[in-house]
C-alpha cells in the first residue's frame, strides 16, 4: 500500500501542476518514476499472488464442499420423509 500511496502522490502532483509538467517537458521523467513504483508493486504482487491463490482455493473448496454435504443430507431427509418439502432443504 505504501508503494501505491507514493505512486498516487506522484500522479496527483503531476496532474495538479500539468501546465508546468507540459511546459518543461517533464512527462517522460514523471512516467519513468511512476514505472519504477509499478515495478516495485509488481514484485510484491508476484510474491503474494500464489499465496492468495492457495488461500482462496482452500476457502472456496471448503465452502462448496459444505454446500454439497448440506444438499446431499437435505435431499436424503426429503426422500426419507423426515421433512415435508424442498423449501426446508433450502432453509
pLDDT along the chain (91 residues), means of 10: 83 83 84 89 89 96 96 93 86 81
Q: What is the pTM of this model?
A: 0.54
Instruction: Parse the chain into domains and list their residue ranges.
Output: 2-90
Contact (Cβ atoms closer than 8 angstroms) between residue 10 and residue 34: yes
Residues 40, 3: contact at Cβ < 8 Å? yes
For residue 44, the model assigns a pLDDT of: 86
Largest CA distance in the chain: 81
Would you state the pLDDT for residue 62? 97
| CA angle centred on 14, ends 10 and 18, rounded to 5° | 175
Reduced to 3 states, what is the DSSP secondary structure of residue 31?
Answer: helix
Q: Residue 83 and residue 73: Cα distance in Å, rounded?
A: 11
Amino acid at each position: 500500500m505504501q508503494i501505491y500511496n507514493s505512486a498516487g502522490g506522484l500522479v496527483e502532483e503531476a496532474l495538479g501542476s500539468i501546465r508546468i509538467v507540459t511546459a518543461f517537458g517533464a512527462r517522460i521523467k514523471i512516467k519513468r518514476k511512476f514505472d519504477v513504483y509499478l515495478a516495485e508493486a509488481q514484485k510484491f504482487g508476484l510474491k503474494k499472488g500464489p499465496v492468495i491463490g492457495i488461500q482462496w482455493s482452500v476457502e472456496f473448496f471448503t465452502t462448496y464442499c459444505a454446500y454439497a454435504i448440506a444438499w446431499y443430507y437435505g435431499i436424503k431427509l426429503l426422500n426419507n420423509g423426515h421433512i415435508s418439502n424442498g423449501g426446508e432443504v433450502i432453509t
